[in-house]
Amino acid sequence: MVKRSNTWNIVPDKNNDPISDLQDNSGNSRDIVGNSTYPDFYNYYDGTDIYFRMRVSASPLQTISNFSTFSWGLLIDSNQNDSHYEWLVLLDGINNPDRIRVGQKTNINNPGVYTVAADTFYTITGTISANAVSPSFGVNDHLLDIKISKSEFTQITGIDQNTRIRYFIGSSSSSDSINYDTTATSYTGNFSSFVNINGVKCD
Ligand SMILES: [Ca+2]
Ligand SMILES: [Ca+2]
Ligand SMILES: [Ca+2]
Ligand SMILES: [Ca+2]
């Protein structure tokens, strides 16, 4: 399912630079990497499915068909209030088999930080893959791709092509949250610019 690179949209951060990571520099597959030339995070909607692409510093696969026991994903702000995320989309390599989870954060009285687990989880149809890429930001970097059904995503979240959303990305050692190399140390004030589900800026 590797797509032509020119179909991907680079998700802009609040300063209109490519959304980035904390530069953990551990060099393993939980280390999200990138710069303006080799962005960390891309998004795309082809009319049927929504795609997310994340650049990581090493192969996230333990075998050709089994992701390592970490997770990678993104938080979504869908109500234009960044003190609270509404949705989590996670490639969960910890569960056996690997899966794609959509989590809803409903407890607005306890928004917590990004490491706080979502409250309700849904399964969603999708495809995951990872491929080595060269040239790239560093040695042995891989592109991790998540493809999900847009119709299921809209049914679960209410988010469609007319919704303004913002992203915050991260890797994790949890199946319920992101808690490792992330966009910033806190999500408040650090979501991306507003984009649509195609990853195109829309404010
Ligand atoms: Ca990093
Ligand atoms: Ca690397
Ligand atoms: Ca919110
Ligand atoms: Ca796995």
pLDDT digits (tens, 9 = 90+) for 104-120: 998 776 666 888 899 99
| Residues in the chain, overall count | 203
Answer for the pair 101, 89: CB distance below 8 angstroms, yes or no: yes
Of all residues in the chain, the percent with pLDDT exceeding 90 is 87
Domain positions in the chain: 10-172
Identify which has the larger pLDDT, 174 or 24: 174
AA letter at 201: K
Give the ligand at the shortest distance from the Cα of 130: 4
Instruction: Say how many Å lie between the CA of residue 56 and the centre of ligand 3.
Output: 26
Ligand nearest to the CA of 97: 4
Among candidate residues 57, 19, 25, the one with its CA nearest the CA of residue 192: 19
Ligand 1 centre and the CA of 30: distance in Å?
8
Distance 191 CA to ligand 3 centre (A): 10
* Helical (H) or strand (E) element with 145: strand 142-149
d(CA 88, CA 85): 8
Compute the distance from residue 32 Cα to the ligand 3 centre, in Å. Answer: 24
- Ligand 1 centroid to Cα of residue 80, in Å, is 27
Cβ pair 51, 147 in contact under 8 A: yes
Cα 74 from Cα 188, distance rounded (Å): 14
End-to-end Cα spacing for the chain? 30
What's the pLDDT score for residue 6? 62
The alpha-helical segments, DSSP class H, found in the chain are 150-157
Give the ligand at the shortest distance from the Cα of 166. 3
- Ligand 2 centre from 141 Cα, in Å? 4
